[in-house]
Amino acid sequence: RSAGAPRLFFVIPKREFSKSAERNRIKRRFRAALRPVLERGKSSYTVFVKKGVLETPFSEIKEAARNQR
């Protein structure tokens, strides 16, 4: 990570996603969806993950990320 690069934080409750493979999959999906947003240069994002996100199609996640400022 270079100085000044955008940072991405995830809040994923272990109660709802007990397996680390699930949590890692969520992080990979969100990093991929937010990549274009991070390139815009905002300093940081925090993603709060709720139950049901694994069933959400990637296209919906990507569209929601695109609409972020």
Alpha helical stretches, state H, the chain:
20-38, 58-66
Cβ within 8 Å of residue 40, ≥6 positions away? none
Query: Does the pTM of the predicted model rise above 0.85?
Result: no
Q: Which residues of the chain have pLDDT under 50?
A: none
Cα separation, 38 vs 65, whole angstroms = 10
pLDDT at 67: 79
pLDDT at 11: 95
